[in-house]
Structures are given as C-alpha cells and as structure tokens.
Amino acid sequence: MNVASGPVQSASSRASGSSFYAAMRILPARQREAMYQIYSFCRQIDDIADCDEPRGVRLAKLVRWRSDIDALYAGAAPIELRGLVEPTRVFGLQKGDFLDLIDGMEMDATGDIRAPDFSTLERYCDRVASAVGRLSVRVFGMEELDGVALAHHLGRALQLTNILRDLDEDAMIGRLYLPREALEAAGIALADPRAAIAHPNLSAACRPVIDRANTHFDEAAKIMARAPRRATRAARIMGDVYRAKLAALCARGFAEPRLPVRTRKLALAWIIMRNLVF
C-alpha cells in the first residue's frame, strides 16, 4: 500500500473499480483529475490508519502528511502531493479540509474506536467523510453555502452506510463504530466488538444509525434538488448508489451470517444513465 514514503500510483488507478470511480468518470477532464487526486490522498492516509504497524509509527507518518499539506500550501509541494497543486489553485481547495481528514485518520490510528458516543461519532464522520465532501463540492462548482451543507449531509450518510456495511470487517481488527447509546439501549455489552455484532439484538442497535443515514440522505436530496444539475451529477450518483446499498443492507438484515452487499454493474450503469439523461 502507498504511504508517504512509498511510490505513488496514478490517481485514477487507485480509484478504479470503485463506485467513486464510476461517478467521477462523468466529470469534465480537469474536475475528474482533481477528484482522482483527492481520492488518492484519502486512500494513502487511510492505508496508514488501517495498517498493522505500531501506532507510534502510524501517527508519525500522519504527522508527516500534515507537514506535507503545510508545504503544499506554502508553495513547496512534496512529490506525493504535486498532483494536488493545480486542483488546489484552480478550485480553491481549503487546507483545513485536508487537515480534518488527517485528524480523522489519527482518531483511528491512536486507538481502535469502540462504541463511540454519538458526539464522537459525529466528529469522526465529519472528519473522514464530510471533509472529503467539502473538497469535492468545490471541484463540482457548487455555491458555497449549499455545497458545505451537501458535504455535511451526504458525507455523513455515506459514512454511516459504510459503518453498517463493514461491521464484520471492522470487528476483525478490533473496531466497532456503532454508537454507545444505541448499543446500551439494545442491551449489548461494549467490551468486545465481535461479541457485540453477534448479539441477537444487533438490529435494534443498528436502527438509530439507519434512521440517521436516511435523514441525511433526505436532506442531501433536498439540497441537490435546488442546485444546478451539472454541479451535482457526481454527488447524485454517489447518493443513489449508497442509498440503494443501505436499502439492500436493511433488506438483508443484520443477523449472522451477514452476506456481503454489492452494487451490481447493471444497477450502477442505470444509476449513472438516469443522472446523465434525466
């Protein structure tokens, strides 16, 4: 995996195969390349947070990325960030959003997150997801207030969906992002992530997360409905893909065994076509 000290893959190759890649392919070339560069940055710092190196090593690498962002904005971008020089200048990408992303990765690298309270989960979602949204809406060309609001709601909706999708994967590495209040209300002990997700009341603990995600999807849809369509096509695609994913997770249920939920290529193609044509 690429980290600050390793070779840098092309931005588009890091994104290929994901629903993100499919959504961004519809953008004009300059916007598309900017989004691939943002995605590459996110992937590289995420790889650090999720690797099995000692925590001190991971945190030191993230500190280096923080210094690299400082250098980018000081006009001396290191090789790892040279692809972001033009997007930062052309689209007015904000330094604080990149630093927020690193803050979010540091939350994972400092210690495995287990049953955070709603306030901590909210802060985490803002850093690892809505910060990406704030960078993205600048590239898309959205008006400032609606863009920030869309990033707030759609970023959280996508991240909460990912949390519900990745329960087993996260538990395998000692993490549990379901909120403490929801787990306690369902009578689920918090100490062991694997035991928590095997509990017969897990569906009840997931319900508040599902409800929050749906509320954020609804609010994001309202914002996109009043915004220029050309500036929201990629966001619409991501929203439609993830809302369908959330619906599929709910239809599957959360009792074991939890079979993976994937977006079929035909369904993805229809979502893209619908947002391009209608």
What are the tens digits of pLDDT across the range 45-60? 999 999 999 999 999 9
What is the mean predicted confidence (pLDDT) over 254-264? 91
pLDDT of the residue at 189: 86
> pLDDT tens across 203-239, in order?
999 999 999 999 999 999 999 999 999 999 999 999 9
With contact defined as beta carbons under 8 Å apart, do 275 and 25 qualify? no
> pLDDT tens across 55-76, in order?
999 999 999 999 999 999 999 9
Given a cut of 80, whether residue 1 has pLDDT beyond it is: no
Q: Output the pTM of the full model.
A: 0.91
pLDDT of the residue at 190: 80
In which band, very low, low, confident or very high, does the pLDDT at 278 lie, cut at 50, 70 and 90?
A: low
Given a cut of 70, whether residue 141 has pLDDT beyond it is: yes
What is the mean predicted confidence (pLDDT) over 87-112? 97
The domains found in the chain, sorted by start residue, are 1-111 (no CATH), 112-278 (1.10.600.10)
Span of 4-13, 88-97, 178-187 with lowest mean pLDDT = 4-13
More confident site: 100 or 275:
100
pLDDT of the residue at 265: 81
Given a cut of 60, whether residue 6 has pLDDT beyond it is: no
